[in-house]
Structure 1
Amino acid sequence: MSTTHTIHKHLILQSQQGDQAAMSSLYDLYAKAMYNICRRMMGDEEVAKDLLQESFIDAFQKLPSLREINTFSSWIKRIVVNNCINAIRKKKLDTAQLEDGADFIEEEEDDFEYTQYRASQIMQAVDMLPEGCKAVLNLYLFEGYDHKEIGEVLGVTESASKAQYCKAKARIRKILEEERSQNVG
């Protein structure tokens, strides 16, 4: 067992007993990665910070019931993703907007060259997407949900999820191309 794993296990066990210092250390170890998930899914820094705090409060309240402490990392991530999904639902994500374009057909090949852009440019483009496209893109691309699962959590059809994913990719391409042409010209 690695030293890092042993330290994390020790912190988790102490946190399960209510040790505030251990909880603070766990927070420090996981907060940045969990914030990145919140920021990416919500597209708003303040909302992401609020959701991060809410997620850790939820996690620490539920921590005594965690039996498999080796799964802590995936367990906390699941809490964060679920809280983001719930926040998206609370925003009353316009399902009409999601259903719109359900017949959108994905191109057979996506030959767009994303590697010429910095990650920050792509993430800025993601932030500019409409809420429906952004939610589907994040759940599919970054969180590994399939379109059927996305449809279930967002209350839309599988084909609407696929359509929104295609629209999101097309919009990102357009935003990046427009930015590049502005910088060249």
Structure 2
Amino acid sequence: MEKDNHIDTEMVKAYQAGDQKAIAQLVKRWHLIFCKKAYWIVKDANLSKDIAQESWQTIMDKMHTLQKPSSFKSWALRIVYSKSLDALREQSRKRSRETEFGKQQVAVVDDYKEKTEHKEMLLKAIKRLPEQQQSVIRLYYTEEYSLKEISELLNISVGTTKSRLFHAREKLKLILKPIIGNKK
């Protein structure tokens, strides 16, 4: 164990001095251990390999800041551990976003169904109105004609148009009240 630590210390010092081959030696010695450590935390073989790669990138970027080369093992394993925890947090956030997205999709579908059901109920209720009231309701709400335009189209006074529209609305309330009252 002491011998292994001494080898790591020498390789770290060599890398810090500019020897690029030293990092290859460290990777050869530690990569599998990093993968196993990451796997022990995340329980995903592919993810653990990615974590080991990211850890090596961080190690190479920050190796020059390592003041005590003999502490390479604990320093590097702490990096792997931190990266593994970051990966777990990211997976958790991703699952949470997916769950939330799924809930939103269900809500949109439910909302669409509810609107479609209400529209069907309203159309059925309109069909139960007298023909004159149906015409005024459709022209006013579906075709978006003004009261004056409806009166001209149907050749009736504006007052009669208003009256038919009022009575049609009141009848629709009476028809729909038992249906909507049961839904709530």
Question: Which protein has the bigger helix share?
Answer: 2
Q: TM-score, structure 2 length as denominator?
A: 0.47
Say which one has the larger Rg. Answer: 2
* Structure having greater relative contact order (Cα 8 Å, sep ≥ 6): 1
Q: TM-score, structure 1 length as denominator?
A: 0.47
